């Protein structure tokens, strides 16, 4: 069964770990919603559905034609993410609340891990960095790409609706875009005489919705991509999460906090934030992108 990080943290008795996961999820709309499958081993081989099977009408006595979906065999590997956080022994001895000091130091490291995951989730490329995993930019197939034009163009609601329609089997669970693209969408909504819906998430933050779909902001989606003769383009992604769509992979136990212990070269103790994680797309029609979005 796939669980989000937040859901998994509720099963943990480690208050420091639960606090770290909450910190990461608060900062990342992806980690708030992306479910993770626990896998044993260092990778997962799976079949990605490309074309769905069809059905037909038949008359009495007709010969029935066999038709099956087509798949592409893919593999996804777990990658090692994390970092060390050192807690100074003098500060630990002189501070009245040791747990608060440790939590503050570890949460700073957790934000770094969250930032690394968010960046790799979008831009990951094993060809450029074999230690990372492929992100949604590479996982999204050409047939799932919507273009704003040969040289890009300003965002339009018509093109955004086309992006949403490229995700099949239900509405996308998230629209992921840059801050600039979100501002453009707000302008479009106001120009059309409406406003984007808004509601609070489980952490109390405000989330905007387009046609009932949550809008997530990612600072790792660039606004300077080159499309044709334009070098100021961005991309908007639409995705559906789950074991039949886009899903995270994690080792048993998920994100862990390991107390390395006292250090020989400095008066401090070390805590390691560690995560064996990856990403898999089980169905190509569950992910789409709109390229060439100009300001």
Residue 149 sits in the same domain as residue 265: no
118 located within any domain: yes
Residue 290 sits in the same domain as residue 220: yes
pLDDT in tens, 132-155: 999 999 999 878 999 999 999 999
Alpha-carbon gap, residue 124 to 120, rounded angstroms: 4
56 located within any domain: no
Could you tell me the pLDDT band of residue 224, with boundaries at 50, 70 and 90? very high
pLDDT in tens, 232-241: 999 999 999 9
CATH number where 256 lies: 3.30.2400.10
Is the pLDDT at 89 greater than 90? The verdict is: no
29 located within any domain: yes
pLDDT in tens, 268-292: 889 899 999 999 999 999 999 999 9
Question: Residue 3 carries which DSSP code?
Answer: B
Residue 100 sits in the same domain as residue 233: no
Domain that holds residue 163: 145-242+285-294
Could you tell me the pLDDT band of residue 195, with boundaries at 50, 70 and 90? confident
58 located within any domain: no
Residue 259 sits in the same domain as residue 120: yes
Number of separate domains in the chain: 2
Is the pLDDT at 70 greater than 60? The verdict is: yes
Q: What is the pLDDT of residue 232?
A: 96
Residue 149 sits in the same domain as residue 123: no
Which pair of tokens denotes residue 282? 């089980």
Residue 167 sits in the same domain as residue 206: yes
Mean pLDDT of 5-18: 76
Is the pLDDT at 110 greater than 70? The verdict is: yes
The helix/strand count (H/E) of the chain reads as 8, 16
Q: What is the pLDDT of residue 98?
A: 55
204 located within any domain: yes
Question: Residue 279 carries which DSSP code?
Answer: E
């Amino acid at each position: 069964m796939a669980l989000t990080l937040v859901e998994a943290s509720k099963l943990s008795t480690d208050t420091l770990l639960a606090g770290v996961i909450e910190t990461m999820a608060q900062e990342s709309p992806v980690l708030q919603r992306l479910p993770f499958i626990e896998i044993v081993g260092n990778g997962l081989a799976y079949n990605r559905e490309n074309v769905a099977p069809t059905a037909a009408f038949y008359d009495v006595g007709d010969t029935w034609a066999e038709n099956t979906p087509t798949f592409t065999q893919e593999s996804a590997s777990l990658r090692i993410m994390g970092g060390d956080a050192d807690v100074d022994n003098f500060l630990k001895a002189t501070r009245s609340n040791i747990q608060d000091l440790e939590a503050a130091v570890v949460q700073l490291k957790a934000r770094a891990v969250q930032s690394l995951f968010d960046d790799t989730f979008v831009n990951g490329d094993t060809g450029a960095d074999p230690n990372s995993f492929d992100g949604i930019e590479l996982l999204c197939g050409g047939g799932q790409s919507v273009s704003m034009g040969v040289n890009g163009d300003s965002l339009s609601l018509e093109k955004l609706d086309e992006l949403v329609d490229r995700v099949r089997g239900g509405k996308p669970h998230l629209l992921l875009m840059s801050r600039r693209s979100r501002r453009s969408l707000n302008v479009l909504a106001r120009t059309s005489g409406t406003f984007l819906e808004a509601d609070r998430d489980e952490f109390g933050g405000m989330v905007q919705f387009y046609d009932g779909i949550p809008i997530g902001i990612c600072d790792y989606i660039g606004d300077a991509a080159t499309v044709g003769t334009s070098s100021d383009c961005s991309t908007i992604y639409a995705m559906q999460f789950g074991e039949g769509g886009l899903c995270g992979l994690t080792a048993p136990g998920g994100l862990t906090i390991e107390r390395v212990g006292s250090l020989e070269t400095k008066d401090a103790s070390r805590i390691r934030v560690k995560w064996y994680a990856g990403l898999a797309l089980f169905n190509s029609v569950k992910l789409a992108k709109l390229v060439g979005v100009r300001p």
